[in-house]
Amino acid sequence: MMKIAIQGERGSFSHAVAAHLAPKAKLAPCASSYEVFDRVVRGTVGAAVIPIENSLAGSVAEHFDLLLARPVFIQREYRWRISHALIVPPGVKFAQVKRVFSHPVALEQCRDFFRRHAAIQAIPFYDTAGSVQYIMREKLRDAAALAGPQAAKEYGARILRRGLEDDKQNFTRFFLIRKSAGARPLPKADKISIAFALKSLPGALFRALSVFALRDLDLSKIESRPMRGRPWEYVFYVDVLRGLDLDAMNALRHLAEVADFVKVLGIYPAA
């Protein structure tokens, strides 16, 4: 039976996505993103599910950095509708809640709630479902957790309020990643994620993007991240809406001629 690493505890969104993508897989919860990636690279799990981008809060920067740094390959993507609930131990009422624990990305998706309830303190925690587990284990009477409704069921907690996210069109994009060695694109793969850095020359970004425009290749995303160890230099992350056909291969070869480096992060079917 294949093992899939996830960040967080049972009942997390990553847990739900992994169970959907691989219903028969054994899930291996991890406390940190580094542990997830390390387990994939060491081969102690066959794959991992990671959140990469939220439609409200934006990209998960740490995961972009790890995709670049580690020898892993994106094989699938999936979009999951995110709905946050305010979850408490049984018997706790809303008037008692002074603190809300959750992952920083989840807290960011519910800013309107905290603006309306300024007396309630938002406290970052390593995981959404883990925050439910924590308030239940510690039997906190002045605290709540912000997590998916499935986490309340998992840990025997109570839902006080549902739908706390700022916008109902709240989706998170997840990747299924494998160790690069031996990984192959799935059939019907029609999307390529790449990372590249540019030489410090006038017009470098224009020349880099032109390799796609000249071949009518559509880009659905472009984002820059600081390059570790090289202040004020950046890595560009790009999603290309094309499989690895002749035009895409020629574009990547052309990009390698004008870029400092190019890394193909994955080739996979678009969600």
Query: Could you give the residue numbers annotated as active site?
Result: 172, 174
Residue 135: CB atoms within 10 A of its CB come to 24
**Residue with token string 């290749």:** 217
State how far the Cα of 264 lies from the Cα of 191, in Å rounded to an integer. 11
202 by Cβ neighbours in 10 Å (0-12 / 13-18 / 19+) ranks as exposed
Calpha distance 150→168 (Å, rounded): 18
